[in-house]
């Protein structure tokens, strides 16, 4: 098997030489993962362990350009708390007639 000559990998990358992701699509399976998925582990003794995985109820996904600015959940929460006072106040909606 001949390796592709157009395979380019940055020197600082953790990807091994020979892998070519130029045709890859970022986020291709994102929607399916958000809907939940099943993991099946086939053990040597013939048993199968099945685990259904669902994302957390209030999980929020950040786009890659936003993730670059926030290393962890704590920094995201800190930034959002600074924005909360700038949001318009919610009006109470009355059920009575005017």
Domain for residue 21, yes or no?
no
pTM: 0.40
pLDDT tens across 46-91, in order? 999 999 988 877 778 788 899 899 988 899 999 999 999 999 987 7
Domain for residue 81, yes or no?
yes
Q: What local confidence, expressed as pLDDT, does residue 13 receive? A: 63
Residue 40 structural domain = 30-86
Domain for residue 95, yes or no?
no
Tally of structural domains, the chain: 1
Asked if 60 and 47 touch (Cβ cutoff 8 Å), the reply is no
Alpha-carbon distance of 74 to 82, in angstroms, equals 13
């Amino acid at each position: 098997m001949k390796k592709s000559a157009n395979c380019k990998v940055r020197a600082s990358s953790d990807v091994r030489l020979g892998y070519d992701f130029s045709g890859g699509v970022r986020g291709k399976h994102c929607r399916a993962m958000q809907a939940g998925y099943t993991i099946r582990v086939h053990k040597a003794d013939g048993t199968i362990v099945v685990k259904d995985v669902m994302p957390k109820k209030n999980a929020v996904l950040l786009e890659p350009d936003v993730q670059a600015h926030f290393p962890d959940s704590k920094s995201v929460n800190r930034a959002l708390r600074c924005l909360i006072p700038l949001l318009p106040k919610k009006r109470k909606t009355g059920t009575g007639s005017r």
